Every structure is written in structure tokens, then in C-alpha cells.
Amino acid sequence: MTAAALAEKTASPLLAALGDCQRGQWAYSSLYIWMTEHFDEMAAATGGYRVRWSKLAEAAAEEGLRTRKGAPPAPNTVKSTWFRVRRAVTALRERQAQERAKVEAEAMQREAERKASAEAAREAHRRKPEEDEAQKARIAQADRAAAWARERDADARSRAQSQNPANAQTRESSLSSTQTPKIGEVKRATKMLEAAPLYGSDALEPPPPPYIGPRPAGLPENVPLEALTSLDASGVKPDGTYDLHNLPGMPRRKFFRKEYEWAQACLPMIRAIPPDERPLSLKVLFALLRSMPGMK
């Protein structure tokens, strides 16, 4: 575009009118627009001081500012126009402040969500090895429980076969000459102990691994094998001391309702082992049980 064309375009009355429309020249007076553009100066000069609106009206007329009708502004016009400008600008700035606060709050929320997501990812990465170890422990416990169940089922099948009348003759022929039956003797029925109920946090713990092995010597007849601690148990506490309530192959304390019942189940098992063959853990347990009231 040539300089002449640019000058012609700039001097176009229609373009000048469109510019005035864009600036609100027709919606507001030149006095209103000037006060809006110089709001901070007006607010500082009129705040807390006596205002001579007549002087401001004379200065506005000399400045060339006019009302919407094109007349020089009167003192009351200057005063009312300033009040309208002050309300409008104050409301506009409040809306802008609210919008900025909203944008900042949304940004802070997004940042907090990002940090929370990153922290959750770090926590999941840190806990993964622990979860893997816990999963391995659960699998191992399930395997031990399955093995115990298979052995229990095998014992049940064996007992069922031994009670079959077709096997009666075989059982009678297998009696040794030293196993002379006692005619008319009635075998005393034994009522097996049941596990004591668990409460609180004890009830939420997973069941202990089952005891797998033969019935130990000295174990009272009324104590079932499920009362015994697994042979795979460590028998020590986290601090390295003996866990006397959960020694491998010995009765578990939590199975019994009372302390003396647990002691009565443990003592004959320890006595069945010669003193010189008892490990140190059983010697400590034996001394503890013997010190309990009523135990010998």
C-alpha cells in the first residue's frame, strides 16, 4: 500500500467513525472516557479531600471534554460522571480480581493433584517389593494348607477303609501275638479341645500355618494337632528372644482359653523328651511352666 493510499485510508471519515465506535465514543461522553483512562489519578486526587467541581468543570471544558450532547460539562455533570465512572471501574476491577483468584485457585488445585499423583506413584513403587513378599508368603501359606488338607483327606480315607467290614478279617489277622485283645473292655471316649475364640485384632489375623507331621509323644489325647505350631515357625520374636507361646511343634497359646490349659498341654510333651536332649528353648519353657501356680 502506497503512502497516499495509507493517508487516504487514515483520513477516511467512515474509518474514523468506526474507531470512535470501538472506543465507546458514542456510548459514553468524552468526559466519561477521560475519567476512565485517568481513574487512578482522579481517585488519588478526590479521595478524602474537598472537591471543587466547578474548577474541574472549567478545566474539563478547556481540555475539550464534552458531554454526550456535545456541551461543556457543568459542575454537577462532572460530579455525577465521576461517581458513575468510580462504580463501573471498581466493579470491573473486582470482577477481574475474582477471575484472577479463580484462575490461581484452579492452577493450585492442578498442581496439588499433580503432586498427589506423583507421590502416589512413588509410594506404589516403594511398596511393590513389600507386596511381592506378602504375595509370596500368602502363596506359601496356601501351599502348606493344601498339603495339610491332602494329608487330612488321606487319613480320613484310610480310616474309612479300616472301618469297612470287608477289611475286618484282614485287621484281625494282622494282630500280633503280643496284641492280645481285651474282651469286654470299652474304650473311653475322648472329647477333643476346640480352639478358643479370638477377638479384636487377633480375629483379623490370617490363620497360622497348619502343623504337618506325626502326633508328638506326650501330647494329651484331648489336644488336636491343629493346636500345634507349624514346624516351619521361627520360634523367635522380632527382638531375637524366644517366642515361648509359639515354639515349633509345641501347642500355641492362642488356641487355649486359659493359661493353665496351655501349660498342661505343654508339660507332658516336654517331659517326654529326655532332659539332655531338650533344646534350650524347651528348657526355658519348662522352667517357666514349672514356676506357674499349681504346676509341677
pLDDT digits (tens, 9 = 90+) for 80-117: 999 999 999 999 999 999 999 999 999 999 999 998 98
Which amino acid does the sequence have at 224? Answer: P
First to last CA, the chain: 119
Asked if pLDDT for residue 36 goes beyond 60, the answer is yes
SS3 248: coil
Mean pLDDT of the chain: 82
* Window from 17-31, 64-78, 138-152 with minimum mean pLDDT: 17-31
100, 106, 108, 114 alpha-carbon torsion, rounded to 10°: -150
The residue out of 110, 126, 148 marking a domain boundary is 110
Residue 27 located in a structural domain: yes
The predicted pLDDT at position 120 comes to: 86
Q: Is residue 242 within 8 Å of residue 282, measured between CB atoms?
A: no
Mean pLDDT of 31-51: 87
The predicted pLDDT at position 178 comes to: 43
Q: Which domain holds residue 247?
A: 216-296
pTM over 0.75: no
Mean pLDDT of 134-153: 74
Residue 162 located in a structural domain: no
Residue 29 located in a structural domain: yes
The CA distance from 107 to 35, in Å, is 35
The residue out of 78, 110, 142 marking a domain boundary is 110
The CA distance from 92 to 256, in Å, is 78
Mean pLDDT of 181-200: 78
Name the range with the highest mean pLDDT among 50-59, 187-196, 264-273.
264-273
Residue 249 located in a structural domain: yes
| pLDDT band of 45, cuts 50, 70, 90 | confident
pLDDT digits (tens, 9 = 90+) for 220-235: 999 999 999 999 999 9
Asked if pLDDT for residue 48 goes beyond 80, the answer is no
SS3 34: helix
The CA distance from 249 to 230, in Å, is 6
Residue 236 located in a structural domain: yes
Asked if pLDDT for residue 44 goes beyond 90, the answer is no
Identify the H or E element spanning 114. helix 75-162
Higher pLDDT, 237 or 175: 237
Domain tally, the chain: 2
The predicted pLDDT at position 138 comes to: 81
For cell 504346676, the residue is: 295
The CA distance from 96 to 103, in Å, is 10
The residue out of 110, 125, 141 marking a domain boundary is 110
Query: What percent of the chain is predicted at pLDDT more than 90?
Result: 45
Which amino acid does the sequence have at 43? Answer: A
Give Rg (Cα) of the chain.
Answer: 49
Residue 202 located in a structural domain: no
The predicted pLDDT at position 107 comes to: 92
Residue 65 located in a structural domain: yes
Residue 6 located in a structural domain: no
The predicted pLDDT at position 181 comes to: 57
